[in-house]
Structure 1
Amino acid sequence: MAERRAEDGAEEGSAGGATQPAAADAPAAAPRAEVSTAATGARLAELFPALFGGAPKPLKLRIQVDIQERAPGEFSKQALSAFFRRLTGATSYLVAVSRGKQRFDLDGQPAGELSEEHRQLAADELTRRRANQQARRAQEDAQREQEEAGRRQRFGLLRDFETTKLTTANFCALKGIAPEQLDGLLEQARKEAQEDAARPQRPQHRPEHGHGRRDGERGPRREGGRNEGHNEGRNDGPRAHAGGRRDDRGRPQGPRGPRGGGGGREGGGAPRG
């Protein structure tokens, strides 16, 4: 894929005479190359913002020759080659190539069609990277699950050992472990239990009082255990009878007296002689 990227325009300068750094100098020169690559990219963005100032664009073939002509003496071939190796190997550039139709020059103008071969090569590389990423994630998930299962098993072993009434030999036989392994497993389980206890617990989210009440929920309770608004619409009390039977206003509120003999009216005249 590296050879194909060289043909894709980004490595034209390296194919045309850029030298590779010596293997013996690689460890000492790595930090310097890192700074040089970043500085090269920043300077290119200043000189040619239409091409290097925004999202990656498919580069015109032999773009390094154009840079040397437009900015003579500004960049060494080694610096440009290192920069373009990183640029064309970036996922964002491969995405631009896989979706693009045109290449672009230093002024951001179309400078030739992007071949189907180069688009397919970029798409294949993206597919390969996604597959590798998914494989790494699956491996990490499996390893994490295996570690968690081991911790749970050791914790159960420690819990059972602290409550068992069996001898050590019988306990090991019951658990299917060698007696010489027991102390190491118990020590590791105690250490992991301490780590779990020291790990900060996630706070449980509880809605604040009075907030988040949905429509239809009862309001705050008042004295007597009834909810506010619970009796809305009920025809309780004297006011509710305004349109119906009127209450006996004006009557004495004291207790009624006993009815007279003979079933006379309440509060009627004197009994007949």
Structure 2
Amino acid sequence: MSTSDTPIVPEEAAQPVAESIAEPVADAAVEPAAEPVADAAVVEAAAVAKVPEMTPSECARQLKDRFPALFAGNVAKPLKLRIQADIKERAPGVFTKAVMSAFLRRHTGTTAYLIALTKAEHRFDLDGQPAGEITDEHRQVAQEELDRRRAVHQERRVKEAEAERANRDKARAEERAAQTQQREEQELQEQKRRNRAQLLRDFEKTTLTRANFCVLKGLPESDLDRVLEIARKEAAEAPAPQADRPHAPRGDRRDQRPAGPRRDGDRPAPGQGRPPRR
């Protein structure tokens, strides 16, 4: 499976990888010591004080503007080793060492940059020209990090799918439980209504005293009037039963035939057309 065919998770803990495949943070360019150490320290401090602090995002924007051949475009390019020294030489006093280090750690730790390391043949300088080959060690480190991110991504997708399935099953179970409870409640209310209707019919036909009737029905006498009132109200609100419609007698089909001239295709009446067979 190629690296570009499988989605990669966002960059996580990319700093160790970036440090292993990118240039060293320290600038190893040897500068001539033309002045005493004390004077050089003063000059360096003054230069740093003049450079405004910028974020890695602002650093990336300025690098794209100054060196578009390397940093602009949609495809990442492997950086030349010790590119920080070249930037410092071509843009003196623009980027502090801390800002450049933060930017390079983030830039060389992106998935796009790691993929570029595994596919490109050369590193590139600030002008977008080949500047050294990529070692097998750097390719291997980049590929191992890509594999790790792919595994993390796959594991996360599996967990998300399992969680989604569990939530879906839970929602369905809750919906079924709610429907069952609603159906049982409706059946219970319907049974109570039928019991009240039967109680009303029995009360209207009984010859027992009120007290004996309540004892027979297992109903407190104090609740009898209330229950009967509800039953009478429900009986009044109930729709009247529809009487069965009488079926019309089936007459002679010939009597149901519409009058009028015979249409083409109709069978001729007896005595017309061909003579009957003997």
- TM-score (norm: length of structure 1): 0.51
Name the residue aligned to 1:53.
72
How far apart, in 2, do the equivalents of 1:2 and 1:44 lie? 20
Q: 2:82 aligns with which of 48, 58, 62?
A: 62
Per-residue CA shift, 1:59-98, capped at 9, x if unaligned? 1111101111111101001111111111111110000001
Name the residue aligned to 2:62.
43
Give the superposition deviation at 1:103: 0.8
Larger RCO (CA within 8 A; separation ≥ 6): 2
Give the superposition deviation at 1:46: 1.2
Give the superposition deviation at 1:4: 4.5
2:113 counterpart of 1:96 = no
Per-residue CA shift, 1:167-201, capped at 9, x if unaligned? 9xxxxxxxxxxxxxxxxxxxxxxxxxxxxxxxxxx
Give the superposition deviation at 1:5: 2.5
Conserved? CA contact 2:21–2:142, under 8 Å = no
Name the residue aligned to 1:209.
none
Name the residue aligned to 1:162.
182
Give the superposition deviation at 1:8: 2.2
Figure out how many residues of one structure are paired with residues of the other and give that number. Answer: 149
Q: 2:25 aligns with which of 13, 33, 38?
A: 13
How far apart, in 2, do the equivalents of 1:95 and 1:14 lie? 25
How far apart, in 2, do the equivalents of 1:155 and 1:2 lie? 48
How far apart, in 1, do the equivalents of 2:21 and 2:108 lie? 8
Conserved? CA contact 1:50–1:108, under 8 Å = yes
Q: What is the 5 A alignment of 1:193-208?
A: none
In structure 2, the gaps of 5 or more residues are: 1-13, 29-52, 189-278
Q: What is the 5 A alignment of 1:65-214?
A: 65-164=85-184
Give the superposition deviation at 1:47: 1.1
Between the aligned residues of both structures, percent identity stands at 42
In structure 1, the gaps of 5 or more residues are: 17-32, 168-273
